[in-house]
Chains A and B, each alone.
Chain A
Amino acid sequence: AQTVTQSQPEMSVQEAETVTLSCTYDTSESDYYLFWYKQPPSRQMILVIRQEAYKQQNATENRFSVNFQKAAKSFSLKISDSQLGDAAMYFCAYSPYNAGNNRKLIWGLGTSLAVNP
Chain B
Amino acid sequence: EAQVTQNPRYLITVTGKKLTVTCSQNMNHEYMSWYRQDPGLGLRQIYYSMNVEVTDKGDVPEGYKVSRKEKRNFPLILESPSPNQTSLYFCASSNRGSGANVLTFGAGSRLTVL
Residues of A within 8 A of B (CB): 33, 35, 42-47, 50, 52, 91, 95, 99, 101-105, 107-110
Let me know if B74 is at the binding interface, CB within 8 A: no
Q: Across the interface, do B100 and A109 meet the contact criterion of CB distance under 8 Å? A: no
Count of chain B residues with Cβ under 8 Å from any Cβ of A?
Answer: 25
Per DSSP, chain B at the interface is strand
Contact A105:B42 (CB < 8 A) given known A43-B88, A44-B108, A45-B90: no
Q: Across the interface, do B107 and A103 meet the contact criterion of CB distance under 8 Å? A: no
Most chain A CB atoms below 10 A, which of B54, B90, B103, B108: B103
Please, which residues of chain B bring their CB within 8 A of the CB of A47? 102-103
B99-111 toward A: CB 8 Å interface, digit per residue (1/0)?
A: 0111101011010
Please, which residues of chain A bring their CB within 8 A of the CB of B107? 42-44
Q: Pick the residue among B33, B43, B88 that contacts A103 (CB under 8 A).
A: B33
Assembled-state Cα–Cα distance A95/B107 (Å)? 21
- 17 residue pairs bridging A and B, Cβ less than 8 Å apart: A42-B107, A43-B88, A43-B110, A47-B102, A47-B103, A52-B100, A91-B42, A95-B100, A101-B50, A101-B56, A102-B58, A103-B33, A103-B101, A103-B103, A104-B48, A105-B103, A110-B42
